[in-house]
Amino acid sequence: MQFNELTPEEKRIIEDKGTERPFTGEYDNFYEAGTYICKRCGVELYRSTDKFDAGCGWPAFDDAVEGAVKQISDEDGMRIEIQCNNCNAHLGHVFKGEHITAKNTRHCVNSLSMRFVPAAK
């Protein structure tokens, strides 16, 4: 499998499971129509129609493209990590039971883990 070249900061997030500082990511306060794809492999991960403002400092989605994201318990057992199901790139974490949206789920994603593709006009 061939991967896109990553910057050192993207590698820190995607490969070393790092986290961006809150409210600094390119897609935190970004609401254009389109699709978010994995920065590492290019697979579609999220649709803009599932994005919402959670006020948490990271892009938040209440759903993922079917089969695109896998959930894995963190080593500490406290949180659930989300990864690209195609290339295992670290995306962030998922939180359930917060009652922020009707789907009751928040995928909290690092902007550096994704690339935005605008909807065709």
Q: Which residues are catalytic?
A: 108
- The percent of the chain in helix, strand and coil, each rounded to the nearest 5, is 10, 35, 55
- Kindly list the distances between the CA atom of residue 115 and the CA atoms of 38, 41, 94, in Å, as whole numbers in the listed order: 6, 10, 19
Distance CA 2, CA 41 (A): 7
